[in-house]
Amino acid sequence: MDVKKHVYVTVNGREVEYQAISLDALRLSWNGIEKQYRNRGEPLDPPTYEIVTGGGGKVQEPHDATTEKTPDEQAAWDAYIDAVNRLQDDKIIMQMQYILEDGLELISIPQDTSWMEKHKRRMIDIPTDPDKLREFYITSEILKTHDDMAGITVSVMILSQQGKVDEAELETALESFRGYLGRKAIKRLVNRQKQVEAQQPAI
């Protein structure tokens, strides 16, 4: 049986074959990371403040970026923001691990080591761990630009959703590139990927 190939073209014109990842497994990994944070006592929930209702009762409301805070509440808010940002960074790292290991599973390090010798001449310490060496090969020789890393992420995530693009979910998946890309650029990448897939001949 013929297997349909999905190809991403880098900014340098290199064709990179990719495949879907399991979004269910990725979400379980994200849940596992968050569980570790909570088990360590990381403040993943916003600090609260007390307000008095019209009937004289007292209720706790969560702080946000605009609420007035005492020095202690500000410190708690800063700790909360720091924990949430670190959690998001760890989720992004896990997502990229899925993409590099599963989405780009077909990429292997070439037998010819001349590419490594080139980087050694440039005073780069080449990783000895096989997984990190493969990651270094992909990011230094194939996906060389931020656009390529963002583009392959969009491509893999779209394929993993079987063509049912949920823009909100894609933006969450692309959180690591938000500052660089922005909402409009994400849409352009999504539209570009749709056009590329539409132009590919059936196999």
Query: For residue 59, is it within any domain?
Result: no
Query: For residue 189, is it within any domain?
Result: yes
Query: For residue 122, is it within any domain?
Result: yes
Q: What is the pLDDT of residue 72?
A: 94
User: Number of folded domains in the chain?
Assistant: 1
Asked whether the beta carbons of 127 and 136 are under 8 A apart, the reply is yes
Query: For residue 37, is it within any domain?
Result: no
Domain that includes residue 115, residue range: 6-19+106-199
Q: What is the pLDDT of residue 202?
A: 45
Query: For residue 116, is it within any domain?
Result: yes
Identify the CA nearest to 77 among candidates 91, 63, 96: 63
One-letter amino acid at 102 equals D
- Specify the DSSP element, H or E, that contains 199: helix 178-199
Query: For residue 95, is it within any domain?
Result: no
One-letter amino acid at 66 equals T
DSSP assignment string, 70-107: -HHHHHHHHHHHHHHHHHHHHHHHHHHHHIIIIITTT-
Query: For residue 50, is it within any domain?
Result: no
Query: For residue 86, is it within any domain?
Result: no
Per-residue pLDDT of the chain (203 residues; tens, 9 = 90+): 456 789 999 999 999 999 999 999 999 999 999 999 999 999 999 999 988 887 778 899 999 999 999 999 999 999 999 999 999 989 988 999 999 999 999 999 999 999 999 999 999 999 999 999 999 999 999 999 988 988 898 889 888 887 565 666 666 656 555 554 544 555 555 555 555 544 544 44
DSSP assignment string, 45-70: S--EEEEE-TTS-EEEEE--TTS---
Q: Can you give the pTM of this predicted structure?
A: 0.77
Is residue 148 exposed (0-12), middle (13-18) or buried (19+ Cβ within 10 Å)?
Answer: buried
